Structure 1
Amino acid sequence: MEEQLSKTRKAKEEIILAKASEVFAEEGFLQVTMQRIIDACQISRGGLYLYFHSVDELFVEVIRSRSVHQFDLVREQLRSNPDFHFVFAEYLAEHKQRLLVLAAGGPSLIRAMYEYSFTHQSEEDRHLKQKQVNATRGTVQSLLDLGADQGVLPKEKVRLLAEELMLIIEGLNVLALTGELQERQIDRQFAQFQKQVH
């Protein structure tokens, strides 16, 4: 009985997080209220407060949940030792698509993450942000390590290249958020970077 209750609770929590993620992606962080989440989840106020007590708490859990699964597909692909150039081109194509959606004002948790970052400065908040950066860095590093293992990249350059790619993507995120990003800029930045990995 206890195990069934635990599974039911976990399933309900996952539904709330999925709906909340959609709301944050659509509206950012600053505009979201608990009432907005209640409406999206079609749950009572008391029902939501059984799981989460504030927008902040809910957002942090959405981000934690996202970071656990965000790069699962890339990591899964890397286990089978695929062709580096193919996987790397796919990775950049996915980023390009995400950036274009963000630039067009489409749904993205990036906007919400920036809003949260600028308004929350506690030690715990900084730790959350650092975990996000580390998760991204780890995935980029793993991808470039594949290139080094296949003899495409010199091992000693992987760390520097990973840092450079992260900075490129972060810069493109900012341009997309300000509405200044165009597709040709993404193509130019990624093409310039790809010259270093061929």
Structure 2
Amino acid sequence: MNRSVSNKRSETKKAAILIGAQKVFSEKGFLNVTMQDIIDACGISRGGIYLYFHTTDDIFFETITQRSVRQFDDIRKAVINEPLFDDLLSAYLSEHKTRLINHIQGAPSLLRAMYEYSFTHHDARDNHLKQKQMNATKATVRSILDLGVKQHKITNHSTKKLADSFMLLIEGMSIMALTGTLKEQQIDDQFQMFIHQLT
């Protein structure tokens, strides 16, 4: 078997592990997941999984890293094509609302696992990943807002501060959604208040 075929098989197995792991983390959080849970979900042998990952920490880190790379691809592509700002902002807020409601209803999600991991892991690698995720999210929000400025839909040109404000808003509502204390009307109200900040 040549090296190219071997590498492709290796990447395919690794991807299958991460897909199975994401499902487990979404259902159980981070702290309650064992290597055996992931082995069972992937249908791979213990020896097979240890060829790629040594701990649940390593698997979760890779899962989140890959998710972060793809998370806002659609929005970034949309911004490049310069759609109508109002439509893009509405779609973006609607996506967040759907996600928050899913959390309220207890649908499987990586959010709980991400907070558990974040609260318990503080080395340089983890802090770098957290910062990278935060920066990517803020950059995405800011690119949407900059489009609004360009189309003369936003009169408040402090898009960096507005993006920071939105991040704090979403993080707060995400935690409330996980605890079951967030209501749908609160989501709508908070988004309306954010929209009012734009002018």
* TM-score under structure 1 length normalisation: 0.96
Instruction: Indicate the residue corresponding to 1:166 in structure 2.
Output: 167
Q: CA deviation at 1:120?
A: 1.1
Confirm or deny: 8 A CA contact 2:156 2:197 kept in the other structure: no
Instruction: Indicate the residue corresponding to 1:127 in structure 2.
Output: 128
Superposed CA RMSD in Å reads: 1.2
Instruction: Indicate the residue corresponding to 1:84 in structure 2.
Output: 85
Instruction: Indicate the residue corresponding to 1:103 in structure 2.
Output: 104
* TM-score under structure 2 length normalisation: 0.96
Q: Which runs of 5+ in 2 are unaligned?
A: none
Residues 110-129 of structure 1: CA deviation (Å, up to 9, x unaligned): 11010001111222221111
Instruction: Indicate the residue corresponding to 2:40 in structure 1.
Output: 39
Q: Secondary structure at the match of 2:154?
A: coil
Q: CA deviation at 1:162?
A: 0.7
Confirm or deny: 8 A CA contact 1:145 1:155 kept in the other structure: no
Identity %: 52
Whole-Å separation in 2 of the counterparts to 1:94 and 1:73: 12
Q: CA deviation at 1:135?
A: 1.2
Whole-Å separation in 1 of the counterparts to 2:119 and 2:126: 10
Q: Secondary structure at the match of 1:125?
A: helix
Instruction: Indicate the residue corresponding to 1:138 in structure 2.
Output: 139
Q: CA deviation at 1:154?
A: 3.8
Confirm or deny: 8 A CA contact 2:138 2:167 kept in the other structure: yes
Runs of 4+ off more than 4 Å: none
Counterpart residue identity of residue 13, structure 2:
K
Q: CA deviation at 1:155?
A: 6.6
Residues 53-92 of structure 1: CA deviation (Å, up to 9, x unaligned): 1000000000000000000011111111100110100000
Give the 5 Å matches for 1:142-161.
Answer: 142-154=143-155, 156-161=157-162
Q: CA deviation at 1:196?
A: 2.7
Q: Which runs of 5+ in 1 are unaligned?
A: none
